[in-house]
Structure 1
């Protein structure tokens, strides 16, 4: 869906436009995987039942970042596909590590095809992402994605280690989220700027925009993991609390020094799992201790910081408006 020259589209129109550009190339990339991996990829992306593979925020940011620096979105499609493959590599592995049974209202890959198959499919997608970038002979792009993936894996490692600790601090948790989520979204924006011919300075500003937006994205994701509507999120209510995940609102509440925070500590950090009404009680304590309000406020602050970084990149007006609309969708979403 093309807008009139100089006219910005809504966030939903932009996402539809992006899928139209990226999905054919993404399908070709997955079709190039070995047969066993190809079948799993088609299931994961929802192509077998026509449900689609998620919102595709990251590849959309890549295309818009290319336009923001004066380039062409079609010229950045391969970079967008690489970003989407890297992102889905992480989703396949995350579902295995977290033991999640559903994603996008469907059984997860590992629960259908087995743990080993899911891990291998994720590995194949990541290898395919780097093959795409290698073929374009852009060392800066290759380094951008590789650095982001290393950050992502370190962030995931920290997230898992937090499950075994009772002394996780909020700065540690924020750094974990910056790496686990912010790094790849920052890379998505930086890659688009590289493919769009942006200067190093503009690439850096767009990377900063994406990193801050990514951290806001994680805060909202954590909020939805506790208070999201299962009919909308596709995950069971209080899913993160049953696994006693040290998400950002939880860590903020645990360290609040409030009576609710102390009660939450006794409940959340004990050896026995949360059962019955205990996850709901934990959610109420997190809210009473200020964890929910802190996360909402910090997400809003990060959105403002992201938009400041975007303005510093001196983007083309229409692309700037569309990036702002997409950023607001990410920071205010309900699923």
Structure 2
């Protein structure tokens, strides 16, 4: 059963995330500042650097998990973190492109404890800012020293981005279907979330000078980590504390989102699963309306009773085990090996 990481692991992971943010942020800001002024303003707000009026702000810029995986994977194969800043910036730009679009598609009004960019600047501006971040991600790698790894890395990043978009499209399509199989939901998760995390680790290993075997082992590590990350995210989407997550409690249930715990419950062939299916078949609340606490509590209880919560927790633990097994097969050097393991445990057992 999934439990919170111990204090030592949590501290190691948080230290790695802070170090990554310190290392990558200057270059990330430089690239955002190169955007046309209106788009740079939206992006800067989204990253938490400015408020809606464009004034400096102390908002959260996110976890920086993907950049941390890039630079630490480079170190794990004997390279230097500083040499992998380019791909770290690129994956962070792609990730935030997806978040800007996600918030519009899902109608989410809060992220990182404040209003989402589209609610402040409008959907068109947020959409275009996301598009600009995606284009910049490719430019970052193209500006690297011209050598074979640049072309390879760009191809990997674009492939992962395409899979991310395919996964997002599948996720949206699920909302219009009465039933979705667990296999379909897992495949969507691998494309939407895990592919970019796997790519992050592979890019870091490539820039760090790792062997082909090490690169692929670290890609597998990141992919399994990504699956664990999404399972944890879906659990938080139902049972997370809004004061910690920065998102309304039960928002996914209120709009009948077919997250992994929900689909596992619907697939359970239990009385609770069948009752959940009946309630999920009813029209959901409007996306921008506040979730009904009574309805959300009842739906969450059914997901739990049908085994969806236990399945998701156990699956997150299994993905973590597979991630650590893949990491070991890469024969990583210390202390980067321990840091990657700590990041994996944090991703699988986080509270926000």
Please tell me the TM-score bracket, short chain as reference.
Answer: over 0.9
Superposed CA deviations along residues 179-220 of structure 1, whole A, max 9, x for unmatched, are: 000000001101101111111111111010000100110000
SS at match of 2:314: helix
Aligned to 1:52: 60
Pair 1:21–1:276, CA change in 2 (3 A): closer
Counterparts of 1:293-312 in structure 2, within 5 Å, are 293-312=310-329
Q: Structure 1 residue 271: deviation in Å? A: 3.1
Aligned to 1:333: 350
Aligned to 1:5: none
Q: Does residue 127 of the first structure (1) align with residue 127 of the second (2)? A: no
Task: Give yes or no for contact 2:255–2:284 (8 Å, CA) kept in 1.
Answer: no
Aligned to 1:69: 77
TM score, norm. by length of structure 1:
0.96
Q: Structure 1 residue 317: deviation in Å? A: 2.2
Counterparts of 1:149-298 in structure 2, within 5 Å, are 149-271=161-283, 273=285, 275=292, 277-298=294-315
TM score, norm. by length of structure 2:
0.91
> How far apart, CA to CA, are the structure 1 residues paired with 2:194 and 2:94?
14
Q: Structure 1 residue 275: deviation in Å? A: 4.5
Moved over 4 A (4+): none
Q: Structure 1 residue 47: deviation in Å? A: 0.7
Which of 77, 101, 116 does residue 108 from structure 1 map onto?
Answer: 116
> How far apart, CA to CA, are the structure 1 residues paired with 2:58 and 2:20?
17
> How far apart, CA to CA, are the structure 2 residues paired with 1:140 and 1:315?
22
Pair 1:287–1:124, CA change in 2 (3 A): same
User: Which runs of 5 or more structure 2 residues have no equivalent in the other structure?
Assistant: 1-10, 51-56, 286-290
SS at match of 1:165: coil
Counterparts of 1:316-331 in structure 2, within 5 Å, are 316-331=333-348
Aligned to 2:4: none
Pair 1:249–1:315, CA change in 2 (3 A): same
User: Which runs of 5 or more structure 1 residues have no equivalent in the other structure?
Assistant: 1-8
Counterparts of 1:28-47 in structure 2, within 5 Å, are 28-47=30-49
RMSD over aligned Cα atoms:
1.1
